[in-house]
């Protein structure tokens, strides 16, 4: 899989060598190469801890536990980001015949997961941000 390409300049920009030095190989694969962790194995899939979920690569706060819900899809699901400008959306046509919307951290450009609409979940936004656990770090409320 090729590494992330974007015309955008992010506030946090590092070379691939710097990212590799800071992230584990699996974290690098998901965050910087738009990989996907296996379903039902992530640390936050079933987490109920109250707090804020931040980008594992740069620490930007992205989602809160208040918007996390059980979708039973195998990855943590949220119905909205913390603020609209904390994430960016990229058209993803990597699966033939099935366009998706990729979700990236707006601060460093790291891949987080995808967002889906109209799946029938009873959430305020009718959206499911399907996010890789490995892309996140949970900061528990004090």
Map residue 142 onto helix, strand or coil.
coil
Number of domains within the chain: 1
Domain range for 114 is: 16-140
Would residue 5 count as lying in a domain? no
How high is the pLDDT of residue 108? 97
Would residue 57 count as lying in a domain? yes
58 as an active site residue: the answer is no
Least confident of 2-6, 87-91, 106-110, 114-118: 2-6
Question: How sure is the predictor about 7, in pLDDT bands with cuts at 50, 70 and 90?
Answer: low
Would residue 8 count as lying in a domain? no
Residue linked to tokens 């996010």: 131
Would residue 108 count as lying in a domain? yes
Size of the chain, expressed as the number of residues it contains = 142
> In this structure, what CATH number is given to the domain that contains residue 88?
2.170.150.20
Would residue 48 count as lying in a domain? yes
What's the whole-number mean pLDDT along residues 68-95? 91
Would residue 6 count as lying in a domain? no
Measured between alpha carbons, how far is 97 from 106 in angstroms, rounded to an integer?
Answer: 27
Q: Out of 55, 105, 108, 130, pick the active-site residue.
A: 130
What's the whole-number mean pLDDT along residues 80-103? 87
Residue linked to tokens 């959430």: 123
Would residue 3 count as lying in a domain? no
Mean pLDDT across the chain, nearest whole number?
92
Tokens of 86: 């904390």
Would residue 7 count as lying in a domain? no
């Amino acid at each position: 899989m090729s590494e992330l390409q974007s015309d955008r300049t992010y506030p946090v920009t590092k070379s691939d060598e710097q990212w590799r030095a800071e992230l584990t190989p699996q974290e690098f694969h998901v965050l910087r190469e738009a990989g996907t962790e296996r379903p039902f194995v992530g640390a936050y899939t079933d987490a109920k801890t109250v707090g804020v979920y931040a980008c594992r690569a740069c620490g930007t706060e992205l989602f809160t536990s208040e918007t996390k819900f059980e979708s039973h899809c195998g990855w943590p699901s949220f119905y909205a980001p913390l603020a609209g400008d904390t994430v960016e959306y990229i058209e993803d046509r990597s699966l033939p015949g099935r366009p998706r919307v990729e979700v990236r951290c707006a601060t460093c450009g790291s891949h987080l997961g995808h967002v889906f609409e109209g799946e029938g979940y009873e959430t305020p936004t009718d959206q499911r941000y399907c996010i890789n656990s490995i892309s996140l770090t949970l900061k528990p409320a004090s």
